[in-house]
Amino acid sequence: MQTQTWRPREYNQHAQFVSNFGVSVVELLDAQPGERILDLGCGEGALAEQLKEIGTEVIGVDSSPAMIEAARARGIDARVMSGDRLTFKGEFDAVFSNAALHWILNYEDVIQGVYASLKPGGRFVGEFGGAGIIKCIVNAMNEVLSDHPEFGKFVNPWFFPTAEVYAAALTREGFRVVSAETFPRPTPLANGVGTWLRVFADHVISGLRGDQATRFLEQVEELVRADLYTPECGWMADYVRLRFVATKP
């Protein structure tokens, strides 16, 4: 499988809804001026910037060098670091994460690293893709790739757990789980499923030749059209979110 490459300009153009929805996760975090906050998977730093404006001392980490460069351009103290290899020890009042944890398959290492990064009494607040998210799109991708073995195999890069699985993992690591729940969030895709795939399934598309990529996108779009498109609402992705709050005793 190819790896996912992030292009900040394209992300800003087509995926602004991610940080727009993240504003309510920032509210849930309820950060206070002076707190030291880790933004895990900060991307291009839109939400880290909001946390900074509140008066917190925010550090952003992300595994994408391009995203970190974009976050630094906004004035964020941002570092290239993968969420499953955090190196901080007991220094944060809170770890915040929006729309990033589903990209890291070894979630237990993430939780361990977050726990180690927090001060006693610190909190871990986040939101990411929950069980069932983009089921239609994943099924269609699988179908097209199995019809075209020459396109390669679909290797799912995403971790979309149930609230129960994630809460149990947090508890095993020593967290006290305050809340963990999944909920549907139908998400408008202004530029259609093809554009969504180009941004979020780059790990599949980048392995295809130009003509193969075009056919792949057309065929996936055709397969999901009946479920995800209506003339009244346009394209709507079948998103499900998992939102949680946990504290380190």
Gap between the Cα atoms of 234 and 192, Å rounded: 8
The reply on whether position 208 binds ligand BEZ by CB under 6 A is: no
Q: How far is CA 184 from the centre of its chain?
A: 16
Comparing CB distances to ligand BEZ, the nearer of 92 and 200 is 200
Q: Which helix (H) or strand (E) holds 119?
A: strand 118-129
The reply on whether position 45 binds ligand BEZ by CB under 6 A is: no
Q: In angstroms, give the least distance from the CB of 99 to ligand BEZ.
A: 4
Cα dist from 136 to 31, 39, 71, 213, 221, whole Å: 36, 30, 32, 19, 10
Part of the chain binding ligand BEZ (CB under 6 A), chosen from 42-50, 52-60, 80-88, 126-134: 126-134
Part of the chain binding ligand BEZ (CB under 6 A), chosen from 26-34, 86-94, 129-137, 207-215: 129-137
Comparing CB distances to ligand BEZ, the nearer of 124 and 158 is 158
DSSP state of 105: S
Please provide the DSSP assignment of 51-65 as one string: HHHHT-EEEEEES-H
The reply on whether position 18 binds ligand BEZ by CB under 6 A is: yes
The reply on whether position 134 binds ligand BEZ by CB under 6 A is: yes
Residues that bind ligand BEZ (CB under 6 A): 18, 99, 129, 133-134, 158, 200
